[in-house]
Chain A
Amino acid sequence: GAVVSQHPSWVICKSGTSVKIECRSLDFQATTMFWYRQFPKQSLMLMATSNEGSKATYEQGVEKDKFLINHASLTLSTLTVTSAHPEDSSFYICSAKAGADYNEQFFGPGTRLTVL
């Protein structure tokens, strides 16, 4: 099956710093990538949808200036959490769709972010 990787798997940073998370589709071209956030014991919350070469579409309540998304190629999308604060500590998961004809999303392993 299709494989999606994320890097790093976990990161601890100080409040006020920025953190970049990478999401890569390893064996397919992802026309669309999704970024989710999951707090403990809660379901996935879609943050934004990004299509290669265009600006990301953010969900209501998600600050696009704080969560910068770049989908520079068909195999790579990055999420940068700028000026991170402790309340941004969460599990960030990306997923990728191979194309319009494919409904299945393939998930990355997730990135655990802890902001001190």
Chain B
Amino acid sequence: QSVLTQPPSVSGAPGQRVTISCSGSSSNVGAGYDVHWFQQFPGTAPKLLISRNTNRPAGVPDRFSGSRSGTSASLAITGLQAEDEADYYCQSFDTTVSGSWVFGGGTKLTVL
């Protein structure tokens, strides 16, 4: 059971917009910790997609955007493309163990 809750899967047709939710609690996202998002293709390392809730690292298309409110965060992908099909994870920190990272269970995005 992951500390952060994500839907196991989402899907959308090319060109559409999809969102992936990430629900936390008062000991992590609700405590004010930032949420980061990662994209992972099979057999490869996670890649930082969104940092500090809303920031895109260099090279990440502006089709990807993030938001955070209260104990939850969301990742939105607009203009869906076939190459966006991947697993997406949210990550934050938790007060339970000092310095600990907590992850969502991951969401499989399927481009129809």
Q: Does B bind A?
A: no
A-side residues, CB < 8 A to B, are none
